[in-house]
């Protein structure tokens, strides 16, 4: 079936199988490998994207369900060569090790700061509880969130 999706502000058409995930369609059909596939079961958050402005795991959404909707991936957060402030904060705070979790975390943090520009520690932990990182121990990730939030204030 053919789907039409607005992806990172651009109209995109793709031929997809009825059962395939939005994550697969983004990565394999639309040339957007930034969203990572790890668990493909909604457990790790590495595939986090915004669907009509709501944070979702792209592995749990059918590509067909995105037909006619708007998707923002990690590739769509920055402006041209300019990183999104959350991406800059991750770099500056040293919140990246292997980097596999980073795209999903960046999307989740950007979403958090849109909803809550100065999140409490509990809000931060709650908002990122669906994003697993095997490397960092999370301390520097939370430093990056504080840094990005401080710059918005
Ligand atoms: S790959 Fe989607 S939540 Fe893990
Ligand atoms: S930096 Fe490796 S999983 Fe998070």
Q: pLDDT at position 151, please?
A: 87
Token code pair at residue 128: 């990122």
Closest among 4, 63, 61, 7 to 34, alpha carbons compared = 7
Q: pLDDT at position 153, please?
A: 67
Residue 48, strand partner residues = 57
Average pLDDT for the chain = 97
The number of the ligand nearest the C-alpha atom of 44 reads: 1
Q: Which parts of the chain sit beneath pLDDT 70?
A: 153
The number of the ligand nearest the C-alpha atom of 132 reads: 2
Count CB-CB contacts under 10 A for residue 61: 20
Token code pair at residue 15: 């031929």
Pocket test for ligand 2, best of 133, 137, 139 (most atoms within 8 A of CB): 133
Distance 15 CA to ligand 2 centre (A): 32
Q: Which residues line ligand 2 (CB under 6 A)?
A: 96-101, 133-136
CA distance 144 to 68: 34
Q: What are phi and psi of 75, to 5 degrees?
A: -65, -20
Distance 46 CA to ligand 2 centre (A): 10
Distance 56 CA to ligand 1 centre (A): 10
Helix, strand, coil content of the chain in percent (nearest 5): 40, 20, 40
Q: Which long-range contacts (CB under 8 A, 24 or more apart) does 95-98 make?
A: 95/136, 95/140, 95/141, 95/143, 95/144, 96/136, 97/135, 97/136, 98/134, 98/135
Q: pLDDT at position 80, please?
A: 86
Q: pLDDT at position 152, please?
A: 77
């Amino acid at each position: 079936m053919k789907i039409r999706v607005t992806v990172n502000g651009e109209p995109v058409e793709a031929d997809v199988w009825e059962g395939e995930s939005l994550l697969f369609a983004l990565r394999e059909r639309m040339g957007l490998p930034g969203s990572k596939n790890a668990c493909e079961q909604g457990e790790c958050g590495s595939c986090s994207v915004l669907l009509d402005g709501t944070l979702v795991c792209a592995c749990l959404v059918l590509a067909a369900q995105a037909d006619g909707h708007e998707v923002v991936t990690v590739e769509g957060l920055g402006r041209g060569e300019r990183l999104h402030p959350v991406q800059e904060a991750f770099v500056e705070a040293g919140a990246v090790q292997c980097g596999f979790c980073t795209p999903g975390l960046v999307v989740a943090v950007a979403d958090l700061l849109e909803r809550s520009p100065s999140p409490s520690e509990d809000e931060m932990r709650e908002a990122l509880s669906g994003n697993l990182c095997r490397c960092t121990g999370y301390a520097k990730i939370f430093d990056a969130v504080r840094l990005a939030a401080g710059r918005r204030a």
